[in-house]
Amino acid sequence: MNRGPAALAVLALAMLLGGCVTTMNVGYGEARAARGPLSAIGSRRIRIDVTDRRPWPGEVIGYIILRSGTLPPAEYPDVLVAPRPVREVVQDALAAELRKNDHVVVTNEADRSLAVDVREFWVSSEQGFWSFRFSGTALIHMTVTDGRTGQALLTRDYQGQAIEHGQMNAKWNWKVAMNAALEAMMRDVATDSRLVEALGAPSP
């Protein structure tokens, strides 16, 4: 695993502040994808380009999930990381949903191109009176363009949020909340009638 200087700096800071780095598995694969409105427009060749626009993007920061969403504060310095870049997690999730609905994901000539910015992707925990509260959020900004003309057909945000409760502040609960937020975001994508229209419309 290659780690860039910015990533190492954040990890070092977390350790310096007395925190720890915890890895948890995050993802949305073919098993979670579902057929829906996106399958009603016929097969399209679709290119997906995802960029991590969170406060600390990069090789490792691109897949660090910080409880605060930015740098770990001194009083709460634990850092959660996914085993691969968040950019890849989101790209694979979109590809799984499109393939499940009969579309072909390509890296070259396409009918439609999706330019996706990851704006938020993080999980946090808060101790309550009886249990811990785990909050996950995932937010992307997507622009759909015609693959031939480059004309923008749709620009909008897709977001998913999830709240879980547990008796222990454990990795399993963080994972459940983050994966639930990712799945909620993907349901927002998959059921958007405007996206269906943008992908299915004839080229201008």
Please tell me the total count of domains within the chain: 1
For 185, the domain range is 5-27+36-200
User: Tokens 């000539």 sit at which residue?
Assistant: 109
Strand 152-166 with 79-81, pairing:
unpaired
Whether 204 has a pLDDT exceeding 70, the answer reads no
Q: What is the pLDDT of residue 49?
A: 97
**Which of residues 6 and 152 earns the better pLDDT score?**
152
Instruction: Kindly report the CATH number assigned to the domain that includes residue 130.
Output: 3.40.50.10610
Residues 74-120 have pLDDT tens digits of 444 456 677 788 899 999 999 999 999 999 999 999 999 999 999 99
Q: Which residues pair with 120 in a beta bridge?
A: 139
Burial class (CB in 10 A: 0-12, 13-18, 19+), 128: exposed
Q: Which residue, among 126, 192, 132, 133, has the nearest Cα to 160 in the 3D structure?
A: 192
Q: What is the pLDDT of residue 3?
A: 46
User: Tokens 């799984």 sit at which residue?
Assistant: 96
Whether 55 has a pLDDT exceeding 70, the answer reads yes
Whether 60 has a pLDDT exceeding 50, the answer reads no
CA distance 80 to 123: 8
Q: What is the pLDDT of residue 20?
A: 60
Whether 174 has a pLDDT exceeding 60, the answer reads yes
Residues 114-146 have pLDDT tens digits of 999 999 988 877 777 778 888 889 999 999 999
